[in-house]
Amino acid sequence: MAPQVTPPASARAPLVIGIAGGSGSGKSTISRAVLAALPAGRGVLLQQDHYYRSQAHLSESDRAAVNYDHPEALELDLLTTHLDQLRTGQPILRPTYDFTIHDRLKEGVRIEPAPIIVVEGILVLADERLRSRFHVKLFVDTDPDIRVMRRIRRDLEQRGRTFAQVRKQYYETVRPMHLAFVEPSKRFADIVIPEGGQNQVALDFLLSFVRQRASEG
């Protein structure tokens, strides 16, 4: 039986899809697949990762010590405001966060409104304000061992971390915050996708729905 999807209030209102899951679960893989399935200009992506608060007032060592997996590390108010602007047809200037320096860049990115809006991040289902704006809520559920290996590889290759730094962050903040905030938010999902981006059946189902919705707009 197909899941019940809350329709937008208007036939012309954008469809908003929220994609949550633990770090390294495959959220970005799913999000990219959704956008790739749409014609140019029909979909936009809002990544929670770009809404970390500015750490310019902190030293480099203090920035590295921040708990980036707690909701208070994020400007979720700004993310919610930007989502509302896109939903009402207004462009936004999205901040850009650089994980290699633990801070925002001065330059933002202009994002135009589109019929399909994907909001992706570990905590997007944990925040009631965001959750209430999603027509489809997804949780990407992946084995913890796979998630941690993906995170190690990403942080070493893309974010300039050492293995000791990655290990310390995982045990001190990533894992505890996952258990406190991310995992409990799974109960709010309309659809739980096991095996992350490797679940082709679930991905095909999602892409079929998104293509159909985009063609109706």
pLDDT at 97: 93
- Taken in order of first residue, the domains within the chain and their CATH numbers are 15-216 (3.40.50.300)
The answer on pLDDT for 3 being more than 70 is no
Residue 142, pLDDT above cutoff 70: yes
**Overall average pLDDT of the 42-48 stretch:** 97
- The one-letter amino acid code at 21 reads G
Q: Which two tokens stand for residue 111?
A: 């994002």
Q: Residues 136-161: what's their mean pLDDT?
A: 90
pLDDT of residue 109: 97
Q: What is the pLDDT of residues 15-24, one digit of tens each?
A: 999 999 999 9
Q: How confident is the model at residue 158 (pLDDT cuts 50, 70, 90)?
A: confident
- What per-residue confidence (pLDDT) applies to 178? 95
What the block records as the tokens of 110 is: 């202009």
Residues 191-202: tens digit of each pLDDT: 999 987 788 999
pLDDT score recorded for residue 2: 46
Q: Give the 3-state DSSP-derived string for the chain, with helices as H, strands as E and coil as C.
A: CCCCCCCCCCCCCCEEEEEEECCCCCHHHHHHHHHHCCCCCCEEEEEHHHHECCCCCCCHHHHHCCCCCCHHHECHHHHHHHHHHHHCCCCEEECCEECCCCEECCCCEEECCCCEEEEECCCCCCCHHHHCCCCEEEEEECCHHHHHHHHHHHHHHHCCCCHHHHHHHHHHHHHHHHHHHHHHHHHHCCEEEECHHHCHHHHHHHHHHHHHHHHHC
Higher per-residue pLDDT: 58 or 48: 48
What is the C-alpha to C-alpha distance for residues 142 and 154, in angstroms, rounded to an integer? 16
User: What digits encode the pLDDT tens for the residues 71-97?
Assistant: 999 999 999 999 999 999 999 999 999
Q: Name the more confident of 7 and 161.
A: 161
* Across 52-61, 102-111, 127-136, least confident range: 52-61
pLDDT digits (tens, 9 = 90+) for 169-186: 889 999 999 999 999 999
Report whether pLDDT(35) > 80. yes
State the pTM of this model: 0.89
pLDDT at 84: 98
